Amino acid sequence: MNELLDAREMRLRYIHELIKSSGRPVVVIKSNTPGSNKNTKDAYVLVRLFLLELKKHIEVASSVMLDSKDGPYALLSIHATDLISTKKMLVDIEETHELGRLIDLDLYMDATYSISRVNLSLTSRRCFMCEEDARICSRNQTHETYELLEFIHQKVIHYLKNLVMSHAQFAMEQELNLEHKFGLVTPSSSGSHPDMNYTLMQKAMHAILPFFGILFEKAYQAHDLDELFQSSRIIGMIAEEKMKEKTNGINCYKGLIFILGLTIVALGYTLAEGQEFNDLFKKVSYMTRDLKQELGHSKQTFGEQAFQLYGILGARGEAMKGLPSVQMALKSIESKKALAASDLRRLLKDIFLNTEDTVMLKRSKNPEFFEQIQRKFKDHPLKTEQDAINLTNFCITHQLSLGGSADLLVTTLFLNAVKPILF
């Protein structure tokens, strides 16, 4: 108990120092975590989530996230003159955000005085497990600590899982809805895939989306990365079978199940560990470090044949290196608020030129023609939509497709969407 009191006193001291040095009010973000251990992974995720959320609503001069025995917390020095309106906005977030009841957003004018709901004649906070006054539930110990912690855990997982699935769908739809896409399926064309069409791709997408949620949840709760990778591969195989049930055996998204699924697993584990965005690429590389050994024993898939004949690692190699083409693509679009169709095509082209696309290699029949195709793409500037149409017609004429690169494009778009929300 003394440690908790000391931590709270230290937090007030930091608030005072920040207000004194900046001359600005301070918002404190802290999770409502019961029990003696307030440093849970859910607490860290909640503070991080709302730190990023508040930056959308308030002009923040500076921010810092700190550890303490009383749990993690964030201090935001803000530009605000109308403190009443600011407090009302914070209360609104607490009441309306899906996870708002799990967090405290306090506004300090100095180290000893925070603007409370009472000051605004607002009702006190409700318990997040029931609708009673939270102070009464706390005083009467209405709910067991383990019940409260499990409730918080499930709420956080549910929120993050839905967020991951919705942004995975968003990324897949961005790619699928893009026209003039170098032999890939679009809303108006089967491209170089006579066995596929837009409707079939949608069926495949909806078949595999739930499994991305399952992979994230498993990763967020995992304790061992090697065990997680092995169990995730089984989930991936089940996802592939479910996809084929909907597509009559046609493989629409096998590569994406591997690349995006692996990325989502790394994302869940990285979040649970309280690490930074770039750490997820290290997780991908670590989990797949032994995949090269699998390629020397079988010739069942074209990927295995490509390695044995040409030394090309394809998607496995991309993963083993930590998704370098995805990292490159993310850097190229990090300053863009919205991506036009021309941006997406150039991104797809750049990914193709910086990775080993075994789908394109398979369709090009031999490495020599594959190199010619790469040179053609490199020399094509894509300045106009007609440039994209011409290159697409070339691909369709020769039955070429950038399937492997499209998987990496979807993964790039997914990470570009979730990064500002989670990191």
The candidate with the shortest Cα–Cα distance to 94, out of 27, 3, 13, 165, is 27
Three-class SS of residue 147?
helix
What is the architecture of the domain spanning 150-422? Orthogonal Bundle (1.10)
pLDDT of residue 304: 54
- Cα–Cα distance measured from residue 390 to residue 372, given in angstroms and rounded to the nearest whole number: 16
Q: Per-residue pLDDT tens, the chain, 423 aa: give them.
A: 688 889 999 999 999 999 999 999 999 999 999 988 999 999 999 999 999 999 999 999 999 999 999 999 999 999 998 999 999 999 999 999 999 999 999 999 876 678 888 777 777 788 888 878 878 888 888 889 999 999 999 999 999 999 999 999 999 999 999 999 999 999 999 999 999 999 999 999 999 999 999 999 999 999 999 999 999 999 999 999 999 999 999 999 999 999 999 999 999 999 999 999 999 999 999 999 988 776 555 555 655 554 444 445 568 889 999 999 999 999 999 878 789 999 999 999 999 998 877 777 777 777 788 888 989 999 988 999 999 999 999 999 999 999 999 999 999 999 999 999 999
* Residue 170 exposed, middle or buried by CB count within 10 Å (0-12, 13-18, 19+): middle
CATH topology of domain 2-143: Alpha-Beta Plaits (3.30.70)
Tell me which H or E stretch contains 78: strand 73-78
φ, ψ of residue 133 to 5 degrees: the values are -60, 125
Query: Parallel, antiparallel, or unpaired: how do β-strands 26-31 and 103-110 relate?
Result: antiparallel
pLDDT of residue 301: 63
Domain edges within the chain: 2-143, 150-422
pLDDT of residue 310: 43
pLDDT of residue 312: 53
pLDDT of residue 395: 93
CA-based radius of gyration for the chain: 25
